[in-house]
Structure 1
Amino acid sequence: MNPHLLDRVVIVGGGTAGWMTAAALGHLLEGSPTRVTLIESEAIGTVGVGEATIPPIIAFNTMLGIDEDEFVRETNATFKLGIEFVDWKELGHSYIHPFGDFGRDFDSIPFYQYWIHRNLAGEKDDLFAYSLMVEACRREKFRRPVTDRPQSAYAGINYAFQFDASLYAAFLRRFAEDKGVERIEGKISDVSLDGESGHVSSLELENGKSVEGDFFIDCSGFRGLLIEQSLKTGYEDWRKWLPCDRAVAMPCEKIADPIPYTRATAREAGWQWRIPLQHRTGNGYVYCSEFLSDDDAEATLRANLDGEPMADANRLRFTTGHRKEFWNGNVLAMGLAAGFMEPLESTSIHLVQTSLARLLTHFPDKRFNEADIEAFNRRTLFEYERVRDFLVLHYTATNRDDTPFWRHCHSIELPFDLERRVAQFREGGRIFEESNDIFGTASWLAVMYGQGIEPQSSNPLISKVPIAKIDSVIRGIGATIDNAVSEMPTHSEFIESHCKG
């Protein structure tokens, strides 16, 4: 047996990040000599406004062996097929970023290239009609994918969830404790560092208890109790690209059946989210304090709620960016302690999930191999940069110039990789995926085209294909999607039949 195995992993903070970490490590370390402990205080609240996810969360739940219907019931969840963006390109315009592909490729060339070629030839058409997920959103339909018939129109269904973050944390807490994770209630009053290595050695609680550990995972939120307050790791500020620095959140009563998608509506100085759950609707306004006061932001949010408020406003301050090291010594930062990306594309929980996956790949022993730590930090930074670029695209690819905030967005200098992606699409209708990119071709296509970036040309290889043939194939795909969506149950019917909370 490896004599350097960790004796104790200590997670600081609960909430979604803390209990996701505890559930994963509790599951994978069950039966091993390594103990997992989580410290949290009920007196310290969690942010708890990130209620929408993207499809890879299904893999996380599957890894843990979680029954999906039970999970949906316990968290009052709904299903999510995409995100609707309202008033981003211009006032009065909307589009849906779907989870899943557009059409189907043929003759080894992507479907969207044929669609662009046909559009440039004068056959103007709605790109989004060739996404089964978009059409299902428009008609408020849902079903799970078919897994045994790859040619079925339903084989390509891709979905995520919208859920109550506090209920999700509670659900994962029960799971983790069943796997042997120890929870300690208490506030941390002091952090002890080893004089030789500089590593965290123990945590002192207000009640006098001392908790020792070998490896510490900081899930303490924005304050970064270990990664920043104790280790002084530093923070990379990305506000020059993403200027929003405040948010106000408020749930309201549900007034209609929940829809199978999240809505992001561009406002005067930012954007408002709307997340429909089984029992209520989550709402929030992410904004830039340079262009809008806190009181005016809250007033705008209240004025645009669907139903009566169910709680007081929760005001948040943040700086978009990340720790200069996500893993420093024997401390790894997770969730908001690692960095913040506004929830425009529902990536907050996903970034926890992917950090956990990387941790499992680079799981340490007491020697804390520097090469592993460097690899973890490099790969995590790459992922944060890709998310950053995708979010910047939403703010900069727009015709909005009706407020000072949107005029400011026109002055944002694009990161190099984003500038290259936009140029390749605008000039030749080409999209190239990066390795391990969270967002695939369909996502970049939806947002670039949805926000008004129109290609000037298409793949030259398509010029030999008669427009009549392209037209026939594309219309056939559209008819298949239309028929498939028509036969799907409504979103509410599906929940009622399978997983009503």
Structure 2
Amino acid sequence: METIRKIVIVGGGTAGWMTAAALSKILGANYAEITLVESDDIGTVGVGEATIPQINIFNRLLGLKEDDFIRQTHGTFKLGIEFVDWARKGHSYFHPFGPYGFDMKGVSFHAFWQKLQTLGVSDSISDYNLQAVAAREGKFMRPVQVENSPLSTIAYAFHFDAGLYAKFLRRFSEGLGAQRIEGRIVSADKNAETGFLEAVVLGDGRRIEGDLFIDCSGFRGLLIGQQMGIDYEDWSKWLPNNRAWAVPTARVHDNQTPYTRSTAREAGWQWRIPLQHRTGNGYVFSNNFIDEQAAMDTLLQNLDAPPLKDPMLVKFQGGHRHKFWEKNVVAIGLSSGFMEPLESTSIHLIQVGIAKLLQMFPDKGFEQADINRYNRLSVLEYEYIRDFLVLHFNQTERDDSEYWRYCRNMELPPRLQEKYDLFRSRGRIFRENEELFNDTSWFAVMVGQGMTWRGYDPVADVMSDEDVKRQLFGIKDAIRKSSDYMPTHEDFIRANCAMEAPVEVMSQLA
């Protein structure tokens, strides 16, 4: 068995430097030489990132100090996503992190809440989730160890500046021995007999040799697509959006919300991601239903502060490579595929790709069984996320544009149709294998998008009507009091992880 000694990462940005950081931390400089090749002349797509709580696993893997991480990336905290005008115009709901209520008698809390709605009570499922209530009130704190308190189970993620995040991880990686090479890749050398990549060649003629190549080159797919010839699985029929305008705006004072906002528009949706020094905004749309100029105009007309620069257009196609790993090339990040960014899964998919690579890390023999498993699990990960994303677009009352009529009437993936059927029957939701989104997420979006059920899970009748009311009202009260106890999001950041802002940034915050 010959050990991998030279790992070459092609491309920087979020994907490249996350990969470099994780491999440097886990493998160490004594195991393999880790080289990242990127060019300052080639921009990255990152325009501001929203994440999901799984990023905390990655941060713990690296051993990051969270306050330092937030400070250096000008980050804020995220408790979930607010969806505005999705089910219908004038309606909003919240997809929170963390569960609703508590499981009681081994029965899903959702079933008891559904039963409560049949007892003359009409309240919001959001009232039973601390993250949703705290987000509504602009509150945040990290979990504290208080027995039987919602404050002990606070789940959260982050918003941060993608460019600053890449620089932060670059410093981290280089501190562990990773090497960065500046240069533009113009070609690659392959072994004529095996088809394995042997080196990438830079514009000045330098050859960067490697045993394992990781393609983080973004949509271009320099290695996985252009060199290894792996085609793309197009999911446009399910994920029709293929463009995004992105623009930062000046921060609105005292409007640093601890959540991402997604607002449905005529032919897509608009994001709002608050950072400490600015706010990230964008309009994700399909150019089959609105032209680029009209989409840009819509975005600029719906900003809550002046733009700091001209909007940037990003073109993409929903889907993934037929193979994520071919021979000695592994694609991670946008080179492997792109998922509609509605539920902030881009960084998670990078993280999962890295984790699976470490689980099935090869030697120079590159066992095909390992590669096959990596590819199979990667496809499943994408499919599970795709189905959850389709739910948002498909289950809507909106028929005010050609775009929404298309989304309402699209042909569904079979696995998603089965989830619909189960939910409409008794409100039941089952998490498939290790799919990313759990029953809380599915329930939040299904209810939020207006789906209904014929009856609640009959097992909820293990509790009497009065006991259900008493227990649920008690939970709701405990969550409200917990939110009251929490500091504001701004106060928490100010006390723990405020950025060290240069003078020009501070003038924007005044």
TM-score, normalising length from structure 1? 0.98
Amino acid paired to 2:470: S
Measured after TM superposition, the shift of residue 50 of structure 1 is 4.8
- 8 Å CA contact 2:425–2:455 kept in 1: the answer is yes
Equivalent of 1:198, from 180, 195, 200? 195
Residue-by-residue CA offset, 1:105-128 (whole Å, 9 max, x unaligned): 111111110010121333222111
Q: Paired residue for 2:235? A: 238
Amino acid paired to 2:227: S
Q: Paired residue for 1:42? A: 40
Residue-by-residue CA offset, 1:76-110 (whole Å, 9 max, x unaligned): 00000000000000000000100010011111111
Residue-by-residue CA offset, 1:439-486 (whole Å, 9 max, x unaligned): 111100100000001221111122353211100100000100011100
Counterpart Cα distance in 2 of 1:31 and 1:344: 37
Show the 5 A alignment for 1:372-451.
372-451=370-449
Show the 5 A alignment for 1:38-77.
38-77=36-75
Secondary structure at 1:211 match in 2 = strand
Counterpart Cα distance in 1 of 2:460 and 2:29: 58
Secondary structure at 1:353 match in 2 = helix
Equivalent of 2:318, from 313, 317, 320? 320
Q: Which aligned runs of 4 or more in structure 1 are off by greater than 4 angstroms?
A: none
Structure 2: segments with no counterpart, 5+ residues: 500-510
Counterpart Cα distance in 2 of 1:268 and 1:480: 40
Counterpart Cα distance in 2 of 1:171 and 1:31: 19
Q: Paired residue for 1:123? A: 121
Q: Paired residue for 1:97? A: 95
Amino acid paired to 2:85: D
- 8 Å CA contact 2:88–2:398 kept in 1: the answer is yes
Counterpart Cα distance in 1 of 2:300 and 2:422: 41
Counterpart Cα distance in 1 of 2:110 and 2:126: 11
Q: Paired residue for 1:20? A: 18
Secondary structure at 1:454 match in 2 = coil
- 8 Å CA contact 2:29–2:178 kept in 1: the answer is no
Equivalent of 2:148, from 144, 147, 151? 151
Counterpart Cα distance in 1 of 2:47 and 2:216: 16
Secondary structure at 1:315 match in 2 = strand
Amino acid paired to 1:23: A
Equivalent of 1:303, from 293, 301, 309? 301
Measured after TM superposition, the shift of residue 18 of structure 1 is 0.2
Measured after TM superposition, the shift of residue 155 of structure 1 is 1.4
Residue-by-residue CA offset, 1:153-212 (whole Å, 9 max, x unaligned): 211210000000000000000000001001000000111111011011111100111111
Amino acid paired to 1:262: T
Counterpart Cα distance in 2 of 1:328 and 1:50: 31
Counterpart Cα distance in 2 of 1:500 and 1:124: 40
Show the 5 A alignment for 1:325-340.
325-340=323-338
- 8 Å CA contact 2:48–2:280 kept in 1: the answer is no
Measured after TM superposition, the shift of residue 150 of structure 1 is 4.5
Secondary structure at 2:223 match in 1 = helix
- 8 Å CA contact 1:116–1:455 kept in 2: the answer is no
- 8 Å CA contact 2:48–2:273 kept in 1: the answer is no
Measured after TM superposition, the shift of residue 49 of structure 1 is 2.3
Equivalent of 1:498, from 463, 475, 496? 496
Counterpart Cα distance in 1 of 2:278 and 2:165: 15
Counterpart Cα distance in 2 of 1:33 and 1:441: 41
Show the 5 A alignment for 1:262-277.
262-277=260-275
Counterpart Cα distance in 2 of 1:77 and 1:360: 28
Counterpart Cα distance in 2 of 1:300 and 1:123: 40
Q: Paired residue for 2:180? A: 183
Percent identity between matched residues is: 51
Secondary structure at 1:250 match in 2 = strand
- 8 Å CA contact 2:48–2:159 kept in 1: the answer is no
Amino acid paired to 2:420: V
Amino acid paired to 1:265: T
Counterpart Cα distance in 1 of 2:294 and 2:275: 26
Counterpart Cα distance in 1 of 2:107 and 2:420: 20
Counterpart Cα distance in 2 of 1:67 and 1:320: 34
Amino acid paired to 1:142: F
Q: Paired residue for 2:508? A: none
- 8 Å CA contact 1:50–1:348 kept in 2: the answer is no
Q: Paired residue for 2:506? A: none
RMSD: 0.9
Amino acid paired to 1:112: H
Counterpart Cα distance in 2 of 1:418 and 1:120: 27
Amino acid paired to 2:108: P
Residue-by-residue CA offset, 1:200-230 (whole Å, 9 max, x unaligned): 1111100111111010000000010000011
Secondary structure at 2:49 match in 1 = coil
Q: Does 1:279 align with 2:238?
A: no
Amino acid paired to 2:106: S
Q: Paired residue for 2:353? A: 355
Residue-by-residue CA offset, 1:225-276 (whole Å, 9 max, x unaligned): 0000111101000001011111110000011321000000000000000000
Measured after TM superposition, the shift of residue 31 of structure 1 is 4.1
Show the 5 A alignment for 1:456-475.
456-475=454-473
Q: Paired residue for 1:487? A: 485
